[in-house]
């Protein structure tokens, strides 16, 4: 399979600095493994602060030319990058399944989703409007300009190896910013292949740089730099807090997409088929390894037994296996360290017979809010069912967490769907739907799930500064 990637010219193992593919300065490499087999796919450059410093310099130099292009010129380059991502869909998806483990069908879905951000922001590039404000004095004119913030450091995770990059790089480049990307060490190959296609599309050398290896060293270099004006991060809450604290010294803007602890509320009046299908999708996509995965399934007592048995049956039909096999709906977890033990089990609950990093899709019944399973983000294929009695109790349980990213509810009652949507302390709410992410809608969390929004017209704001110009004595 790696031969196919190589033949397509998309196997890149070195970092990208100023348009050149470079080794780590000390020659160090790290292995990238296939989580389904343990096979070593490639050895990639293991970089640190020196390479990052050079990537920042190159991004900073390129900022002065890239930001001066017209929006239409930047838009055309992005559009071309989108087209190249789409015309290499098969190879990119294959590469993603190999290094990340997700089933091919989901990998193909992610290439579409990932590319959609580049297309969307290629279009938005042309719509960065300012304002003219009615003046308070007759001889003045008051203007508002929107300008690119400068060099952006983007740190991304392994669960969506392409989309978490394009969702940041798309709007950044569209606004005229330049970027240093640090992909996850588990999934650098997809990131490097995408960067290769960006170069081919005519995104200029130095506008998009990629370094990977020693995460704390790269992170520190990005945070300490005076030239980097913004850090955008998707990953764990713990690392996000470090980056936020580290950005204080140079007063950088930060955008953070951190952990979730998504409630999925099934009311007595739900359509049970819709609820089972929706919560299954919200829980088990990417083997439960997404920050919007349903982490707590709250089920009203009148429907609890019926829902639980239908849900267990649906989970039983999930097919665990290597993502390259057609029948697989559940790939491995990212690595063996991700395989943990559950408790109080209705189904599954242990390492899958395929061994390695495979875990059985698991359902845990009668969970309560004093259990670790309620308060911690599981990030795996484990679905806890939590019974509740009233709507007030469901809202209280749903909000009883420091996280606030995605929430889901299933009900046929329109008044209730409004009431509960407004009461949920979350950045995204799915009503009778378990898969809600799209490039055209804003994605982001409240509370400790993060800052800022990605995707949609709002996704541009995080990369723009507002400048007020007052023209006086006219």
Phi, psi of 100 (to 5 degrees): -110, -30
Contact 274, 311 (CB under 8 A): no
Active site residue 73: no
Structure token digits, residue 344:
């109080």
Q: Determine which one of 119, 257, 360, 454 is catalytic.
A: 257
Least Cβ distance, residue 377 to ligand ADP (angstroms)? 9
Contact characters 238-277, ligand ADP, x per CB under 6 A: -x--x-----------------------------------
| Contact set for ligand ADP, span 181-220 (CB under 6 A) | 182, 184-185, 215-216, 219
Helix or strand holding residue 56 (H, E)? helix 49-66
Q: How many residues bind ligand ADP (CB under 6 A)?
A: 14
Contact 266, 298 (CB under 8 A): yes
Phi, psi of 22 (to 5 degrees): -130, 145
Smaller CB separation from ligand ADP, 245 or 470 = 245
Contact characters 352-391, ligand ADP, x per CB under 6 A: ----------------------------------------
Contact characters 140-179, ligand ADP, x per CB under 6 A: ---------------xxxx---------------------
| Contact set for ligand ADP, span 277-316 (CB under 6 A) | none
Per rule CB under 6 A, is residue 236 in the interface with ligand ADP? Answer: yes
Q: What whole-number distance in Å separates Cα of residue 371 and Cα of residue 20?
A: 51
Smaller CB separation from ligand ADP, 146 or 242 = 242
Per rule CB under 6 A, is residue 103 in the interface with ligand ADP? Answer: no
CB atoms within 10 A of CB 468: 11
Least Cβ distance, residue 382 to ligand ADP (angstroms)? 16
Smaller CB separation from ligand ADP, 112 or 224 = 224
CA separation, residue 2 to residues 6, 94, 381, 414 (Å): 6, 9, 28, 51
User: What secondary structure letter does DSSP report for 465?
Assistant: E
Contact 388, 301 (CB under 8 A): yes
**Helices 188-200 and 71-87, packing angle to 10 deg:** 130
User: Which regions of 313-394 does DSSP assign to beta strands (E)?
Assistant: 345-347, 362-364, 382-388
| Contact set for ligand ADP, span 39-98 (CB under 6 A) | none
Catalytic residues: 257
Q: What residues make contact with ligand ADP under the rule CB under 6 A?
A: 155-158, 182, 184-185, 215-216, 219, 235-236, 239, 242
């Amino acid at each position: 399979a790696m031969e196919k990637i190589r033949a397509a010219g998309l196997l890149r193992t070195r970092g990208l600095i100023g348009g050149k593919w470079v080794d780590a300065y000390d020659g160090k490499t790290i292995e990238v493994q296939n989580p389904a087999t343990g096979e070593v796919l490639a050895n990639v450059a293991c970089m640190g602060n020196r390479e990052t410093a050079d990537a920042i310099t190159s991004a900073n130099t390129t900022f002065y030319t890239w930001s001066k292009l017209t929006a239409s010129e930047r838009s055309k380059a992005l559009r071309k990058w989108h087209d190249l991502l789409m015309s290499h869909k098969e190879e990119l998806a294959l590469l993603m399944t190999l290094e990340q483990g997700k089933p091919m069908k989901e990998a193909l879905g992610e290439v579409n989703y990932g590319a959609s951000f580049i297309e969307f922001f290629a279009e938005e590039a042309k719509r960065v409007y300012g304002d003219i404000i009615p003046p308070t004095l007759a001889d003045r004119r008051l203007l508002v300009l929107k300008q690119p913030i400068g060099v952006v450091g983007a740190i991304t995770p392994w669960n969506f190896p392409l989309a978490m990059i394009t969702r940041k790089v798309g709007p950044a480049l569209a606004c005229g910013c330049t970027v240093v990307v640090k992909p996850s060490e588990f999934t650098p190959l997809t990131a490097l292949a995408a960067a290769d296609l960006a170069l081919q599309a005519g995104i200029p050398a130095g506008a998009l740089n990629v370094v990977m290896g020693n995460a704390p060293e790269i992170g520190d270099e990005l945070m300490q730099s005076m030239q980097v004006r913004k850090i955008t991060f998707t990953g764990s809450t713990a690392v996000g807090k470090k980056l936020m604290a580290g950005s204080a010294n140079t007063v950088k803007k930060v955008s953070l997409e951190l952990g979730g602890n998504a409630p999925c509320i099934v009311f007595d009046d739900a359509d049970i088929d819709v609820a089972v299908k929706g919560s299954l999708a919200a829980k088990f996509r990417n083997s439960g390894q997404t920050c919007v995965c349903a982490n707590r399934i709250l089920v009203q007592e009148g429907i609890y037994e019926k829902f639980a048995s239908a849900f267990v049956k649906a989970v039983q039909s999930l097919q665990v296996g290597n993502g390259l096999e057609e029948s697989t709906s559940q790939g491995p977890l990212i690595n063996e360290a991700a395989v943990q033990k559950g408790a109080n089990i209705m189904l599954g609950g242990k390492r899958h017979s395929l061994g390695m990093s495979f875990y059985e899709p698991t359902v845990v019944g009668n969970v309560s809010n004093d259990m670790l399973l309620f308060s911690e983000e599981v990030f795996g294929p484990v679905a806890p069912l939590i019974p509740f009695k009233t709507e007030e109790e469901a809202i209280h349980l749903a909000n009883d967490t420091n996280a606030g990213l995605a929430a889901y509810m299933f009900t046929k009652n329109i008044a209730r769907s409004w009431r509960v949507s407004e009461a949920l302390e979350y950045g995204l709410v799915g009503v009778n739907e378990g898969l809600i992410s799209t490039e055209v809608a804003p994605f982001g969390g409240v509370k400790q799930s993060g800052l800022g929004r990605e995707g949609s017209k709002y996704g541009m704001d995080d990369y723009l500064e507002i400048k007020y110009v007052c023209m006086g004595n006219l």
